[in-house]
Amino acid sequence: MPATVVITEPFQAIVASHALKLGAPGYHSLVVPHPIYGKTIQELRGVAAPLVDQALAQLAIDSQRP
């Protein structure tokens, strides 16, 4: 099943470490600025909009894996 993960900047090393431990080194993620808490809906849309194409690309790559 295609999947990706959205994380904030401080969690990049943790995600990489867990991916390695789970046998998925280099697992992709979408990184957004920290913090996102307290942002308005419009601000969140502004953070998310640039990631849409990247998310779709990551999901498409996963759907092509056996």
The answer on pLDDT for 66 being more than 80 is no
Q: Per DSSP, what are the bridge partners of residue 31?
A: 7
User: Could you tell me the CA-to-CA distances from 8 to 5, 29, 48, 60 in Å, in that order?
Assistant: 10, 10, 12, 22
Does residue 33 have a cis bond before it (omega within 30 degrees)? Answer: no
pLDDT at 62: 60
Rounded to two decimals, the pTM is: 0.77
Give the span between the Cα atoms of 43 and 27, in whole angstroms: 27
**Secondary element (H or E) of residue 41:** helix 41-48
Phi, psi values for residue 54, rounded to 5°:
-65, -40
The answer on pLDDT for 63 being more than 80 is no
